[in-house]
Amino acid sequence: MKVAINAIEYYLPSKTEDGSNLKEQNPDWRIDDIQAKTGINIRRISAPNETAADMAVLAAEKLLYSKVDIEDVDFLVFVTQSPDYLLPTSACILQDRLGLKKSCMAFDVNLGCSGFVYGLAIGGALIEAGIARSGLLICSDTYTKYIDQDDRTCRPLFSDGAAAAYLTSSTYETLGPFEMGTDGSGFNNLIVPSGGARSFELNERKLSMAGSNVFMFTMDMVPKCVDALLAKAKLNIDEIDLFVFHQASKLVIDNIIRRLELPEEKVFTNYQDIGNTVSASIPIALSDVENAKRLNNGDQVMLVGFGVGYSWGGCIVHWNSGA
């Protein structure tokens, strides 16, 4: 696609939790063992009255106040699984709160860890088709609001955050190809079972994750996704300059590195002091990559998201800071 990720900004809540907080509330937890496995030292926690849409506004405003002409925004794609309401769509609320023009199309995408890659495909297709010239892709979630205090599986992993990317047309082919897929048979292995029409009688909304099942899915599908994407791009794996995977945990990424026999220096991670921010994890990582000046024009970056659904998606970004 002749579509570029023109800029990315992100927002993280000010409240943090570390191992001492977990130990204080759960004295029987072996924190050293948990942190050695997850690799996550600090997580960000949204305020009680702070929603995914609130965080989305704060991330998007960083773009709109410094890098984007608000009149140029033709679409807003909001990737979230923590909407403010069952209806209306949160993207419509964001259009108004951000002061975007009324001719701006706005819609939600209910996806988790693969959501940024799917959003790139959707936003890129709108631009390629001539339906839009440019637009915002915002990823934001507040999974921590769905997690019990004593949930040893989910609480040490998940973090809240939002990222906003500005997509524009480009004179270069900078985005693609894509490789995406779905295996809905695993839907109940990472789920908030209440709140929807099928479970309206349940009042509490709590996240449930069958961690070992999700891990096995990841170890099976991510290498297949990477191989299929390389075949589409007609590239060898050593021609990829940097890999930015969904920041699931140390255990997951270490095993992906092992399975694919990747040089560790080619795999960017920042989960250590941010945690797993679901759909926002890849754009936050990509922003940190750029700020760290880890990339040069012409570098080829592979993005791969995977998780809840089960859903996965990968794409190649041909890095060009002037695109």
Are 218 and 248 in contact, with CB atoms under 8 Å apart? yes
The token pair at 108 is 């939600």
Phi/psi of residue 103, nearest 5 degrees: -85, 5
Eight-state DSSP code of residue 130: T
Q: Please state, in angstroms and rounded to a whole number, the distance separating the CA atoms of residues 222 and 245.
A: 9
Tell me: cis bond preceding 83? Omega within 30 of 0 counts: no
Are 55 and 97 in contact, with CB atoms under 8 Å apart? no
Provide the residue type at 69 as one letter. Answer: D
Are 134 and 73 in contact, with CB atoms under 8 Å apart? yes
Are 42 and 273 in contact, with CB atoms under 8 Å apart? yes
Are 304 and 246 in contact, with CB atoms under 8 Å apart? yes
- Residues near 5 by Cβ (< 8 Å), separated by ≥ 6? 120, 165, 166, 167, 174, 175, 286, 317
Enumerate the active-site residues: 113, 246, 276
Residue 140's region, left for phi above 0, alpha for psi from -120 to 50, else beta, is beta
